[in-house]
Amino acid sequence: MATKPKILAYLISLGLIFGVAVNPATAKLSEHPSQKTSQFSKIEQPLLLKVSVTLGGVVLIGAELWWFLFSKHQSNM
């Protein structure tokens, strides 16, 4: 039973590591900054950033699921 808090701490720490380890300044802007339009422009994201954001999200979703499914308290009915 003592391993459940360890698993939760491990999942949360993985989410924090993936969130902090990736530098958001690595995103590149479009090559034509002189073209100013009212439409949105596509920004290329590095593959490492895409993968780390996805893994961080999956870890956080897993932590939420663990919290709601396995941290049941006994009710006094």
The string of pLDDT tens digits covering residues 57-67 is 999 999 999 88
What pTM was computed for the model? 0.43
- Give me the chain's average pLDDT, please: 76
Total domains, the chain: 1
37-51 average pLDDT score = 87
**Maximum C-alpha span of the chain:** 69
Distance CA 12, CA 63 (A): 7
Measured distance CA(8)–CA(6) in Å, rounded:
5
Q: Which helix (H) or strand (E) holds 5?
A: helix 3-21
C-alpha 4/C-alpha 29 separation (Å) is 43
Instruction: Kindly state whether residue 63 falls inside one of the protein's structural domains.
Output: yes
